[in-house]
């Protein structure tokens, strides 16, 4: 693993985590915090965390302002261009050297660029010149490192843009995504990671920027769920401009935890906190389970269910026994076709939900305890979108 760090990175070029990282190319609503900037002024922040008092040479930056470009356009090839639709970005460092910055993306209110290689530490001035001649300027502090981590939903927090690498006892390697895109909510939801048997070695691959100029690997410190994690690699990802990668070994002592924070420090500088979800040995995986005519959304403290013509709720955690079986109580609300009458009370019934989980497959049966009606068994798959046909 230590000797194959870049090999690992290259083989994730089209992976879920890297696609999430790429979403900084166009972030709807991301400029709202800077909407009140005066004309001609520029705010420069990390494109991963959208915060930070300092930036680093070769890091990916998001700049916000007004009249930064006349069109919306993305770079489509590498090396990245230093001019898009007539817009340029220049960075003048503390020694007075001015360099054109490579450009990822631009729009009238946002430009994403890379701090040019060779930019010296200290105060720097960033100048954006639009295709129509409008000029915007801002100042930044260039530091040796300014670590920040990408998140799956491009907001610098919550679910990490990350994947897991599992190496089994026989040497078999598998990459596992840690997020699932929910089309209904238009965002990534956590996909729980099972650390598996003791013979499995599981590694966490994170993506960020502003990390590559670290003084040494030993100067990179990370904890996961409060547990120190060995850092095996921290440097350029190798396939995408400005993107850095970290490979962490996941400690077995995390068993029993579910939602865990990842805390990273590089040369004493903290990064933004992101997280992942781990599978607790006796809990049903949090997230979406889908099947034909049914969808089950599991949370830490219960679940909600949607059917073709009904819905339900479970107000307690879904905990399995050593064979994967569970039984909980909740509410089942019958629906009907046609319009809903104003003041109509729901046709609610107490229900017993019984099921079994085997890996990423669940069987579920619903029994109404007052009428003895039974529905199912249904077969659901973790991370699968449900196929529900609403009653008319």
pTM: 0.77
Would you say residue 12 has pLDDT above 60? no
The answer on 258 and 171 residing in a single domain is yes
Would you say residue 2 has pLDDT above 50? no
Instruction: Classify residue 186: in a domain, yes or no.
Output: yes
Q: Up-side HSE of residue 255: CA atoms within 13 Å toward CB?
A: 9
Please give the Cα distance from 299 to 301 (Å, whole number): 5
Please state which of the ranges 28-32, 62-66, 222-226 shows the lowest mean pLDDT: 28-32
The answer on 170 and 263 residing in a single domain is yes
What is the structure's pLDDT at 296?
Answer: 95
pLDDT tens figures, 106-160: 999 999 999 999 999 999 999 999 999 999 999 999 999 999 999 998 889 999 9
What is the structure's pLDDT at 35?
Answer: 57
Instruction: Classify residue 326: in a domain, yes or no.
Output: yes
Instruction: Classify residue 391: in a domain, yes or no.
Output: no
Instruction: Classify residue 378: in a domain, yes or no.
Output: yes
What is the structure's pLDDT at 83?
Answer: 97
The answer on 155 and 137 residing in a single domain is no
The answer on 128 and 89 residing in a single domain is yes
R_g (Cα) of the chain, nearest Å: 25
The pair of structure tokens assigned to 58 is: 């070769």
The pair of structure tokens assigned to 336 is: 């009907």
- Residue ending a domain, among 243, 277, 311, is 277
Please state which of the ranges 26-30, 104-108, 307-311 shows the lowest mean pLDDT: 26-30
Question: Which residue range forms the structural domain that includes residue 55?
Answer: 24-143
The answer on 273 and 164 residing in a single domain is yes
Please give the Cα distance from 206 to 229 (Å, whole number): 13
Count: domains in the chain: 3
pLDDT tens figures, 267-276: 999 999 999 9
- Residue ending a domain, among 277, 309, 336, is 277
Mean pLDDT across 271-297: 89
Instruction: Classify residue 72: in a domain, yes or no.
Output: yes
- Residue ending a domain, among 88, 122, 143, is 143
Instruction: Classify residue 387: in a domain, yes or no.
Output: no
Mean pLDDT (the chain) is 87
Mean pLDDT across 27-48: 71
The answer on 329 and 250 residing in a single domain is no
Mean pLDDT across 163-177: 93
Mean pLDDT across 171-199: 85
Identify the CATH number of the domain in which residue 132 sits: 2.60.40.10
The answer on 217 and 164 residing in a single domain is yes
What is the structure's pLDDT at 391?
Answer: 77
The answer on 323 and 239 residing in a single domain is no
CB 239 within 8 A of CB 253: no
Please give the Cα distance from 369 to 202 (Å, whole number): 43
The answer on 49 and 107 residing in a single domain is yes
The answer on 309 and 206 residing in a single domain is no
The answer on 62 and 180 residing in a single domain is no
The answer on 161 and 12 residing in a single domain is yes
Instruction: Classify residue 392: in a domain, yes or no.
Output: no
- Order across the sheet with 122-129: list the strands: 55-56, 135-143, 122-129, 88-92, 98-100
Instruction: Classify residue 339: in a domain, yes or no.
Output: yes
pLDDT tens figures, 216-226: 999 999 999 99
Would you say residue 5 has pLDDT above 50? no
């Amino acid at each position: 693993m230590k000797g194959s760090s870049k090999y690992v990175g290259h083989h994730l070029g089209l992976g879920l985590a890297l696609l999430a990282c790429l979403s900084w190319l166009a972030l709807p609503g991301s400029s709202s915090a800077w909407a009140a900037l005066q004309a001609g002024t520029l705010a420069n922040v990390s494109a991963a965390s959208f915060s930070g008092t300092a930036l680093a040479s070769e890091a990916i930056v998001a700049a916000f302002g007004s009249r930064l470009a006349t069109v919306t356009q993305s770079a489509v090839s590498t090396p990245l261009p230093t001019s898009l639709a007539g817009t340029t970005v220049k960075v003048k460092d503390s020694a007075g050297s001015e360099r054109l910055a490579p450009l990822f993306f631009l729009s009238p209110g946002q430009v994403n660029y890379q701090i040019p290689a060779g930019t010296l530490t200290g105060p720097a001035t960033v100048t954006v010149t639009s295709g129509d001649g409008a000029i915007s300027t801002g100042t930044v502090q260039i530091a040796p490192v300014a670590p920040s981590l990408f998140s799956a939903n491009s907001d610098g927090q919550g679910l990490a843009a990350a994947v897991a690498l599992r190496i089994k006892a026989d040497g078999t390697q598998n990459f596992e995504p840690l997020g699932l895109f929910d089309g209904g909510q238009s965002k990534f939801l956590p996909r729980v990671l099972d650390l598996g048997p003791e013979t499995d070695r599981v590694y966490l691959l994170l993506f960020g920027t502003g990390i590559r100029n670290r003084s040494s690997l030993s100067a990179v410190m990370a904890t996961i769920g409060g547990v120190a994690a060995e850092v095996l690699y921290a440097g350029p990802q190798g396939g995408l401009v400005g993107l850095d990668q970290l490979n962490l070994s996941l400690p077995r002592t995390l068993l029993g935890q579910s939602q865990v924070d990842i805390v990273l420090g590089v040369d004493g500088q903290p990064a933004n906190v992101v997280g992942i979800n781990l599978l607790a040995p006796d809990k049903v995986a949090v997230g979406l389970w889908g099947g034909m005519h049914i969808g089950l959304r599991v949370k830490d403290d219960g679940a909600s269910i949607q059917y073709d013509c009904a819905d339900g709720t479970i107000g307690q955690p879904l905990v399995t026994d050593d064979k994967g079986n569970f039984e909980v109580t909740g509410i089942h609300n019958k629906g009907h076709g046609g319009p809903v009458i104003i003041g109509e009370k729901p046709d609610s019934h107490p229900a017993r939900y019984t099921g079994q989980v085997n890996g990423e497959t669940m069987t579920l049966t619903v029994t109404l305890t007052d009428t003895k009606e039974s529905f199912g068994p249904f077969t659901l798959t973790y991370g699968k979108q449900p196929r529900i046909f609403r009653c008319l």
